[in-house]
Amino acid sequence: MNKLITVAGLSALLAACASYPQRNDQLEQARAEVQSLSANPMAQQAASDDLSAARASLSQADTAFQKKRPPKEVDGLAYLAMRHAQAGEARVSEAHARQEVAQSQQDRERILLQAREHETQQAKAETAATRQELQNLQAKKTDKGMVMTLSDVLFDTGQATLKPGADRDLDRLAQALKDNPNTRVKIEGHTDSVGSASFNQSLSERRAEAVADALETRGVPADRLEARGLGKEYPVASNDTPAGRQQNRRVEVVFSDESGRFAQGETSHSIAR
């Protein structure tokens, strides 16, 4: 009888082994998910805990399958491995997205920096070109900024009508202003001390205005020109000699900087135009 029972038990065991599945689809799907996560170069950095948990669950599922544990047990462990792997993939995707955003920000900052550097270099080049043009006009650096002096030989004595000999200087000055559209000028008329103060004031204003009109005629916008007469108040030489008086009879053109600003302390005595 005992022999019969033993034989029956062995037969049942053999039947159970023969009926145990040779493959578990849930386990293979979990294996593929874990392998995919493991192959991702960012997995260790962005999802190391998820990867470790997925590998541990997959190992448990493999052991259960090899020991022919109930399929539901194998499926449960495989499901855990797959869920850990999927969570890791999600973390990797988030980290990759953050990396792309950071890279985009770096690219944007680099482009902006390059643009600023280009603008700076361009501004320096324009400043150098402007300085060279002013030097060509024989403008000199003063407390008021760069100043170009037009002598009284541009006018007849006591008159404010420009002589033909003034054309060359005015052409060059107008071209320099058109080449530098942000530069503005103050045109200041000066006289010697001969004659009454009112006559000299009026003459200085008319001469400054004549130069401004000539520049406007040559294409310089009127809003960039400020004409003013200063009479005999600001001599650059003694009025006691003919040579000194000739130096004092002049029109000065004061240039702004590249932003259109004049030196601090400059006051306005402009002539209504």
Determine the Cα–Cα distance for residues 66 and 14; give it in Å rounded to an integer: 16
Q: What is the reported pLDDT for 210?
A: 95
Of the listed ranges 120-129, 187-196, 230-239, the one predicted with least confidence: 120-129
**At residue 133, does pLDDT exceed 80?**
no
Tokens of 41: 């170069």
Average pLDDT over residues 115-130: 78
Q: What is the mean pLDDT of residues 179-188?
A: 94
pLDDT at 212: 97
**Domains of the chain, earliest start first:** 2-100 (no CATH), 137-255 (3.30.1330.60)
Is residue 202 scored above 50 in pLDDT?
Answer: yes
More confident residue, 232 or 267: 232
Q: What percent of the chain has pLDDT over 90?
A: 67
**pLDDT of the residue at 127:** 67
Q: What is the average per-residue pLDDT within 116-137?
A: 74
pLDDT level of residue 139 (50, 70, 90 thresholds): confident
Structure tokens given for 186: 């103050």
The pLDDT of 87-108, averaged and rounded, is 94
What pLDDT, on a 0 to 100 scale, did the predictor assign at position 121? 86
What distances in angstroms separate CA 80 from CA 54, 61, 193, 207, 220, one per listed residue?
Answer: 7, 9, 104, 95, 81
pTM surpassing 0.75? no
Residue 18 has pLDDT above 80, yes or no: no
| DSSP at 158 | T
pLDDT digits (tens, 9 = 90+) for 37-62: 999 999 999 999 999 999 999 999 99
**Spatial distance between the Cα atoms of 252 and 239, rounded to a whole number of angstroms:** 18
% residues pLDDT > 70 (the chain):
86
pLDDT bracket for residue 157 (50, 70, 90): confident
Q: Where are the alpha helices (DSSP H) in 67-166?
A: 71-136
Residue 227 β-bridge partners:
187
